[in-house]
A and B are shown apart, each in its own frame.
Chain A
Amino acid sequence: MSLAQRRRAVTRAAAHWLGSFASSVRSVARQPRPEVAPLSIPWSTFDRLQFVVSQRHRTSVGGEHRGRQRAPSPDFADYRPYQHGDDVRRIDWNVYGRLGVLQLRQTEAQLRVSVKILLDCSASMHWGEPEKFKFARELTLALSRVALARSDSVSITCLGHADRSIGPLSGIHQFGVVEHFLNATSPRGKVDLVSAVPPAIMDRSRPRNGPGLTFLISDLHGITDPGVLFGSLRSASESAVTLHVVSQAEADPEALGDVDLVDAESGQIVEVGLSLNVIQAYRARYDAWRQHLERTCGERDVRYVRCSTERTIPEVVLADLRNCQVVR
């Protein structure tokens, strides 16, 4: 071994031991998040929100979303001249008395959105502190609350649990049903999102004439072809949103030393020596992977929102989703 090689080996060894020491110091210095009794989420906070959807289809009657279509409703929208064949009951006779011109009164149409939520229930979601699945479950509840408060229909499908879905439900009184359904769900097993999503979005109970909004709540691990996934997601409805659940520990691991990494879904073991260099390389790879997913979503016209488990649900819904124009 040459002198330079020996010097590099010594430097690497020293860096390894220093890193171990630093890690141990950091783990001692970093105070764990104080155990705070989980606050019950104020679900009523989300009642005033509504989803932002793309209105390319004709409206369906009975919703609470303002639509551009004109349809009978108590809300005045505009006048237009009478044309042969219009309903004479809609003629505004006050305007005719004043102006001597026959004008027709137009009102705003109320839209009902069909919200479809796909919840990733694979084993990889059962990880992290706070747990990703718990976070995703509460996020699903929050989105359901928003939909049900607006009389939208909501249906939820648990990806990974065969035939485990609920909905479509509408009305705020159905919130307890949704909560009970989600509390009985737990993550397990391996899920291939690319093959699991298409059958889940083939929802024949969805009304034909309503705008659709599809949410995919997942950590997006194990995706063989993100383009296919997001493409099928987008094809299911007028709007699609990917809520990427991310754990800070996953993005920024702290462990050092020789470890055997065990895949939570497949059980595959990878032997890794976690040095500082390796961790840096992992972080770069992770960021690149996430950015690739975001970019692919954008290419498929799917909105991408990074949801960190470090934040609370109200923060995610009221701030992050609002900023991304998922809700308003």
Chain B
Amino acid sequence: MTFLAPAAALALLAIPVIILIHYLRGSRRRLRVPSVELWQGLAPGLTARNRVKRPPLSLLLLLQILIGLGLALALMRPAREGDTLRHLGLVIDASASMQASDVGQSRFEAARQAALSRINSLAPTDQVTLVRGGYKPTVEFAGPAKDAEPAVKGLKAGASPARLDDAVMRAALELSRTEDLRGEILVFTDAATDTSTQMNPGRFPLEVVTLAGTGGNQAITDLSARIEPGARAIDVFAEISNYEARPVRTSVQLLADDLPLPLRQIDLPANGRVPLALSVPLESARITARLSVRDALPLDDIAEVALPSVRPRSIMLVSRGSSALERALRAIPGARVLTATPEDSANAAADLTVFDGVSPKSLPSGAILLVHPPGDNGIVQVTGDLRLPPITTVDTTHPLLNGVDVTALRFMRADRITAPAWGHTVLGSPRGPLIVEGVRAGQPIAIFAFDPVASGFEKSIGFPVLVANTVSSTLARVSGPSLRPGQVVSVPAPSDSQPSIVIRPDGQRETLSSAGPGARFDNTDQIGRYSVLDAATQRTARTFSVSLLNGGESNIAPRAFPRPPAFAIDESGLRRLAMEWWWPLVAIGIGLLAFEWLVFARRG
């Protein structure tokens, strides 16, 4: 047993005070007599006040001592040690597959209810950390269990793949802040994700709760377009996958610029896929595909991509001589390539200006491709060279790498640059990015931090594909990039410094501040079309689409999770719940007071 307020022991001083009062006053009985006349004046020297005496041991004195002792002990808050206080880390998988409806309303809702059930089993003083396991795991709540319910109920599912290893790491970090509590991490997931990455909970035990049904799913797992080599039409490629152990017959509705194209019936084999190809006119800006099937995950039954523009593009190549790059540019259909020396580039006006190993004297209008930038380029900071840089960062979903075999990428030499804040690393090494793409002050810019000749990349078959993709991406029209959930898009700032407004597919509006070189919008967790509104003119300045197009998420069948390591918990030093029991002492004190009143006060 322990005392939570030992300083209250000072109240025990009341006991000697009580004894002193009884000593001075004495415990006196009251006797009713017919008359006190004969008692008055009887031997005054022997009356109680004048005679020194010990306080008689009377029932009243004992009662008052017991009451004082009981109340003093109650003030000291005696408590016995109960269970150890716990700190529960809850990680809820917020990936797209969690929105599958094969478990109740959805897997995510089932995970939410399971989390609430676990929270309700905790003591009010236990701690809870809630981590949303999305593309970027976030700590949604950290505090006492009694306050966690609103945060759990306010969680929203996402459409991007979940980084559960990062989420577990974040939870472990929060748990490590409370060394005196018993930590435990709980992961609620459908296990329909990449399970190769080991979750590392640190020194805390980890439990994985799998919530998944057996529902099947069909999905659009690929939708892309390119200009036909003869530049007469745009070739669209789509892939429909069946993640079910039975064949499915369904139909695909394709729309070009929201105009329906002929419906296509397809027979999907069990656990198979069917490719689709069609051509659309060059003037089309956008292609949308819709799958007419009732499956567990409707998110992946619609996809939309922006179509490349075939308007003749003027490309200015500013170089001191790069035949490989020039050849790759001239091979792009619809591209009109002009060359210029660095001295002549100041007055050049083109849709895309390519600076190959030279620094721009002044930034031209239009898009910019910076290849092997020198140190004084004024756009990105170059800090050195890299030899045989290993490639560790690859955004395989980025349009720049569309059709590029990233496994075959090798660089003998590269430039060491500092990743700019406005840019997105498409390909990178541990010591710096190799390919960066983004919008800087409203200007689309792509950077190749390597010399195609010196790096040996020009000899790769992926080089011209990369160049073509870069030209298409940087020269994308108003119907802007097609993104995956969670990707960041740069929204160019309006010319008159008015803020931009992004309208999400669910109709919510988000105002972007105009501070800095172009606004970055990363709230792309909803599938659908986004619009960028110019706040000044209220006109749509740009649109972009977010589609799932992720076979890993569309395959909602649960995979086997690696068994988390077992940990033995050392409970020494852990804080325990204090079970206070001051209230029975107070009840006893009140009962004794009532008894004292009944026996002594009433009878006078």
A127 to chain B, nearest CB (A): 5
Interfacial chain A residues near B29, Cβ < 8 Å: 255, 257-260
Q: Mark A274-314, 1 if CB is under 8 A from B, else 0.
A: 01011001100110010000000000000000000000000
Q: Does B34 contact A (CB under 8 A)?
A: yes
Q: Is the CB of B31 within 8 A of A260?
A: yes
Q: Mark B371-385, 1 if CB is under 8 A from A, else 0.
A: 000000000000000
A291 to chain B, nearest CB (A): 13
Interfacial chain A residues near B156, Cβ < 8 Å: none
Q: Is the CB of A262 within 8 A of B30?
A: yes
A20 to chain B, nearest CB (A): 9
Interchain CB contact (< 8 A) of A255 among B31, B37, B49, B51: B31
Interfacial chain B residues near A64, Cβ < 8 Å: none
Nearest-neighbor residue (CB-CB) of B40 within chain A = A270
Q: Name B's A-contacting residues (CB within 8 A).
A: 26-40, 42-43, 46-49, 51-53, 56, 604
Instruction: State the CA gap A173–B537 with chains docked (Å).
Output: 124
Nearest-neighbor residue (CB-CB) of B34 within chain A = A124
Chain B contact surface mostly: loop
Q: Is the CB of B36 within 8 A of A263?
A: yes
Q: Is the CB of B28 within 8 A of A258?
A: yes
Instruction: State the CA gap A270–B38 with chains docked (Å).
Output: 11
Q: Does A222 contact B (CB under 8 A)?
A: yes
Interfacial chain B residues near A270, Cβ < 8 Å: 36, 39-40
Q: Name A's B-contacting residues (CB within 8 A).
A: 9, 12-13, 124-125, 127-128, 132, 219, 221-222, 247, 250, 255, 257-266, 268-273, 275, 277-278, 281-282, 285-286, 289
Contacts known (A258-B26, A259-B28, A271-B48); A127 close to B43, Cβ less than 8 A: no
Instruction: State the CA gap A272–B42 with chains docked (Å).
Output: 8
Nearest-neighbor residue (CB-CB) of B32 within chain A = A262
Instruction: State the CA gap A319–B52 with chains docked (Å).
Output: 50
Q: Is the CB of B34 within 8 A of A221?
A: yes
Interfacial chain A residues near B32, Cβ < 8 Å: 127, 261-262, 264
Q: Is the CB of A273 within 8 A of B46?
A: yes
Instruction: State the CA gap A268–B40 with chains docked (Å).
Output: 11
Nearest-neighbor residue (CB-CB) of A279 within chain B = B42
Q: Is the CB of A250 within 8 A of B42?
A: no
Of the listed residues A221, A260, A277, A282, the one surrounded by the most CB atoms of chain B closer than 10 A to its CB is: A260
Q: Is the CB of A286 within 8 A of B38?
A: yes
Having A262-B33, A264-B35, one finds 11 other A-B pairs with CB under 8 Å, namely A127-B33, A127-B34, A221-B35, A221-B37, A250-B34, A257-B56, A258-B53, A259-B28, A263-B35, A272-B39, A285-B38
A194 to chain B, nearest CB (A): 14
Interfacial chain B residues near A128, Cβ < 8 Å: 34
Instruction: State the CA gap A12–B53 with chains docked (Å).
Output: 11
A19 to chain B, nearest CB (A): 12
Contacts known (A271-B28, A272-B48); A264 close to B42, Cβ less than 8 A: no
Interfacial chain B residues near A257, Cβ < 8 Å: 29, 56
Interfacial chain B residues near A271, Cβ < 8 Å: 28, 47-49
Q: Is the CB of A277 within 8 A of B43?
A: yes
Instruction: State the CA gap A273–B53 with chains docked (Å).
Output: 11
25 interchain pairs (CB within 8 A)?
A222-B35, A247-B34, A250-B33, A255-B31, A257-B56, A258-B27, A258-B48, A259-B28, A260-B31, A261-B30, A261-B31, A262-B30, A263-B35, A264-B33, A265-B34, A269-B36, A271-B48, A271-B49, A272-B39, A273-B46, A273-B48, A282-B38, A282-B39, A285-B38, A285-B42
Interfacial chain B residues near A132, Cβ < 8 Å: 34
Instruction: State the CA gap A131–B604 with chains docked (Å).
Output: 22
Closest 4 pairs between A and B when the two form their complex, measured CB to CB: A124-B34, A258-B48, A221-B35, A273-B48
Interchain CB contact (< 8 A) of A219 among B34, B43, B48: B34
Nearest-neighbor residue (CB-CB) of A247 within chain B = B34
Nearest-neighbor residue (CB-CB) of B25 within chain A = A258
Contacts known (A258-B26, A261-B33, A262-B31); A275 close to B46, Cβ less than 8 A: yes
Q: Is the CB of B28 within 8 A of A277?
A: no
Of the listed residues B35, B36, B37, B47, the one surrounded by the most CB atoms of chain A closer than 10 A to its CB is: B35
Instruction: State the CA gap A132–B166 with chains docked (Å).
Output: 97
Nearest-neighbor residue (CB-CB) of A289 within chain B = B38
Nearest-neighbor residue (CB-CB) of B30 within chain A = A260
Interfacial chain B residues near A264, Cβ < 8 Å: 32-35
Q: Is the CB of B28 within 8 A of A260?
A: yes
Interfacial chain B residues near A272, Cβ < 8 Å: 39, 42, 47-48
Interfacial chain A residues near B31, Cβ < 8 Å: 255, 259-262
B455 to chain A, nearest CB (A): 111
B305 to chain A, nearest CB (A): 104
A31 to chain B, nearest CB (A): 22
Q: Is the CB of B30 within 8 A of A259?
A: yes
Interfacial chain A residues near B51, Cβ < 8 Å: 12, 273
Instruction: State the CA gap A289–B39 with chains docked (Å).
Output: 12
Interfacial chain B residues near A9, Cβ < 8 Å: 52
A248 to chain B, nearest CB (A): 13
Instruction: State the CA gap A278–B40 with chains docked (Å).
Output: 11
Instruction: State the CA gap A192–B432 with chains docked (Å).
Output: 118
Interfacial chain A residues near B52, Cβ < 8 Å: 9
Interfacial chain A residues near B46, Cβ < 8 Å: 12, 273, 275, 277-278
Instruction: State the CA gap A278–B41 with chains docked (Å).
Output: 11
Interfacial chain B residues near A269, Cβ < 8 Å: 30, 36
Instruction: State the CA gap A262–B604 with chains docked (Å).
Output: 10
Instruction: State the CA gap A12–B47 with chains docked (Å).
Output: 13
Interfacial chain B residues near A250, Cβ < 8 Å: 33-34
Instruction: State the CA gap A261–B31 with chains docked (Å).
Output: 5
Interfacial chain B residues near A263, Cβ < 8 Å: 33-37
Instruction: State the CA gap A124–B39 with chains docked (Å).
Output: 15
Instruction: State the CA gap A6–B32 with chains docked (Å).
Output: 34
Interfacial chain B residues near A12, Cβ < 8 Å: 46, 51
Nearest-neighbor residue (CB-CB) of A285 within chain B = B38
Contacts known (A258-B48, A260-B29, A271-B47); A281 close to B34, Cβ less than 8 A: no
B34 to chain A, nearest CB (A): 4
A252 to chain B, nearest CB (A): 13
Interchain CB contact (< 8 A) of A124 among B27, B35, B53, B56: B35
Nearest-neighbor residue (CB-CB) of A124 within chain B = B34
Interfacial chain B residues near A273, Cβ < 8 Å: 46-48, 51
A149 to chain B, nearest CB (A): 33
Q: Is the CB of B39 within 8 A of A265?
A: no
Contacts known (A262-B31, A271-B49); A281 close to B36, Cβ less than 8 A: no
Nearest-neighbor residue (CB-CB) of A132 within chain B = B34
Instruction: State the CA gap A257–B48 with chains docked (Å).
Output: 9
Instruction: State the CA gap A277–B34 with chains docked (Å).
Output: 21
Instruction: State the CA gap A316–B488 with chains docked (Å).
Output: 120
Instruction: State the CA gap A221–B36 with chains docked (Å).
Output: 10
Q: Is the CB of B36 within 8 A of A261?
A: yes
A117 to chain B, nearest CB (A): 21
A135 to chain B, nearest CB (A): 13
Instruction: State the CA gap A125–B35 with chains docked (Å).
Output: 10
Instruction: State the CA gap A46–B35 with chains docked (Å).
Output: 33
